[in-house]
Each structure stands twice: as C-alpha cells, then as structure tokens.
Amino acid sequence: MRATMWGAAALIVAAGAASAQTLNDVRSRGVLNCGVNTGLTGFAEPDAQGVWQGFDVDICRAVAAAVLNDPMAVNFVPTTGQTRFTALSSGEIDLLARNSTWTFSRDTELRLDFVAVNYYDGQGFLVPRALGVASAQELDGATICIQTGTTTELNLADFFRVNNISYEPVPIANDDEGQQQYLAGACDVYTTDASGLASVRATFENPDDHVILPEIISKEPLGPVVRHGDNEWADLVRWVFYAMVAAEELGITQDNVAEMASAPGDNPEINRLLGTEDEYGTMIGLDAQWAVRVIEAVGNYGESFERHIGEGSPIGLARGLNAQWTDGGLIYAPPFR
C-alpha cells in the first residue's frame, strides 16, 4: 500500500518536473516523439513502406517542420487506448495526436493540456436499412454493439436513460470486432464516433444497405495533447495548428505559400503569419519562416482534411462542424496579432 503511495507521489513529481524543457529536448534530440494511433483509417496509418499517413499524423509533421525544419523528423510512437496518456506524462512522447477526446477529467485530473480541437466528432448510430429505423428514438429494445471502457459507452447509457427507452449492449473490444459482429448480425446497431461509422460503412460490400442515423448524441472534440506544465511547448503546438487553420481562412495553400511568402503582400495578417512582417516566430521560440514550413509540409487545414478524410478521399467525410467558421463550422483560429 505504502509502495503504491510512493509510486503515485513519484508520478506527480515527475509530471511537475516536466517544465519548459520540451522544446530544448526536441531540438537537441533532433527528432519529435509523437504518439499516434496504432491504426485508425484516415487519422493514422502506416503505409506499405512504413511511412505514417493521416490527419492526426499531419499535426506531428507540422510541428516537426516548424521546430526541426524537417517534416520527416518524427519518431512515431504507436499508442493504444490504455497506454496513450501514460506515454505522454512519463515523457516517452512529446506530443500526443491520437484522436483523443477533450474532457474535464483528462484536462484536470490527468494533468494534460489539450491545446486545440482538430476534429469535432460526435457519437452516431449505424443500422441496416432493412431495420426500417429512421431515428435513434425508435431504437427501443435494440441490441447495440458498443466498445467497453470508452466515453461512447457512457454516452449511450445517458442517451437511452434520458429518452426513457431500453437497449441491450453487446460489449466488444475494438472497432474491428465491432464491424465483424455488426455484419454477422450479432447486434442491430453499431455505435461509435460518426467519423468512424462513415469509414466503416465505406468498407462494407453493400454500403447502401446501411444508414447512419441523423442523431449525434455526444460531443467528441478530438485534439492534440501535451503535458501539463510546459506552457511554451503547449503554445507552440497550439499555434502551429492554428497556422494551418488561419492559412485556409486566408487562402494560403501548399501551392501558393512560397510565392506569398516571397514578398510582403497587401494583407498584414498574411504577412505576419508568413514572417514577411514583424517577428512573430521569435515569440514562440522559432524563426520567421516557421509557418511557411508548416504549410509547405502538410498544407492548410482544409487541404490536410481533404487529403486524408474529406469527400475526395475514400472515407468521404463532409466538413460539417469542421468547416471554417465563415462557412458555418466551428473551426476558428484566433487572430495572428
């Protein structure tokens, strides 16, 4: 018992000691240790050559491009749902970009800092069209495949309690098992994050036989996470991400960024972002060209989205909540001023 307490004390001390060191650590190491999913379609996946691709992976590459001037200088550490936060707080990784939901307890009790939201997700339902269900309200008595130990499991219980209807859970361990169980008819309904449902449905032999119900029953803001206590590093990661967002809003793309950065233009905000005016890079410990490198490496937010999970990709997610605020979405970068 006492040993456990000492262990916990050591843990807290270790987490506290993780002060403004990360940027220097990364620089002297010459490589960014970035925690990613072991494999999630569109978000993080190693290709046949072992090169990591994906929407979350782009965050790692962007930070590496800004700090180390090389988007490939990333050591990807595959993490599972159980190991991800410990890997971060123990210092094994500098940054976690692994579709992790920003919640109260993770932000406070686990001593993590969610620096931004790069994907607004929400829990949805996938049902066979033959079931003839048009709304989640009609799912009374349904058997539902649900991943145990996740926020989705708790959301589901909340939703059915609020609507005063019953369901029968079929516990599963991971997405793969869920797809198989659902296709084998072990459950009427499969529920997980809507982005996951869309990519799962896209792999079915007859996607049109299945529908995603219109209700989204939870808020799942997914974003990059850093350790609590190193504010400089948190600022850096946050503004690298916002540079991608602002670039989309300001019409800066992978193709035109070099040209726009070659000389100061008419728009002072673009000039400040691309380092042709003022010295914004030095405020986060970088040089003036940092944002140019980010956009050259991974493109702006919209380009990264489109490449990996957008309507042009096999997953085919609509922008929805993840559109720019000017298009009615929630993606909104604070001003570069």
Partner 1 sequence: MSDTHARTVAFSRDTMLPPVPPPVRETGAVRWLRENLLGGPLNVALTVLSLVAIWWALSGFLPWAWRGIWDASSLTECRARRDELYGPGVPAACWAIIAERWPQLVFGFYPQSGYWRPPVALAVFLVAVMPVLFPSLPRRMLWLLPPAPFVIYWLLWGGSLWGPATVAAGFALGWGVWLLARRGGAGAGLALAAGVAAAALWWWWIAGPLAGTLARGVPLALQPVLSKDMGGFTLSFVIGLSAIVLSLPLGVLLALARRSEMPIISTVAVVYIEIIRGVPLIVWLFTAQLLLNYFLPRGTNFDLMLRVIIMVTLFAAAYLAEVIRGGLAALPKGQFEAADALGLGYWQSMRLVVLPQALKISIPGIVNTFIGLFKDTTLVAFIGMFDPIGLTGSIRATTAWNGIYWEPYVFIAIVFFVVCYAMSRYSIWLERRLEREHRPAT
Hey, which residues does 221 pair with through a beta bridge? Answer: 120
Least distance to partner 1 from the beta carbon of 150, Å? 16
Hey, which residues does 123 pair with through a beta bridge? Answer: 193
Shortest CA distance to 188 belongs to which of 242, 141, 150? 141
8-state DSSP, 134: -
Contact string 9-48 vs partner 1 (x = CB under 8 A): -xx--x--xx------x-----------xxxxxx-xxxxx
3-state secondary structure of 70: coil
Among 34, 87, 252, 292, binds partner 1 (CB under 8 A): 87
Least distance to partner 1 from the beta carbon of 310, Å? 12
CA 216 to mean position of chain CA atoms: 18
Contact string 150-189 vs partner 1 (x = CB under 8 A): ------------------------x-x--xx---------
Contact string 198-217 vs partner 1 (x = CB under 8 A): -xx-xxxx------------
Classify strands 32-37 and 52-53 as parallel, antiparallel or unpaired. unpaired
Rg (CA), the chain: 21
Least distance to partner 1 from the beta carbon of 71, Å? 18
CA dist 112 and 274 (Å) reads 30
Q: Does 50 bind partner 1 (CB under 8 A)?
A: yes
Least distance to partner 1 from the beta carbon of 199, Å? 7
Among 16, 27, 86, 214, binds partner 1 (CB under 8 A): 86
All residues at 6 or more sequence positions from 50 whose CB lies less than 8 Å from its CB, including other chains: none
CA dist 223 and 117 (Å) reads 4
Binding site for partner 1 (CB under 8 A): 7, 10-11, 14, 17-18, 25, 37-42, 44-50, 75, 77-80, 82-83, 86-87, 90-92, 174, 176, 179-180, 199-200, 202-205, 313-315
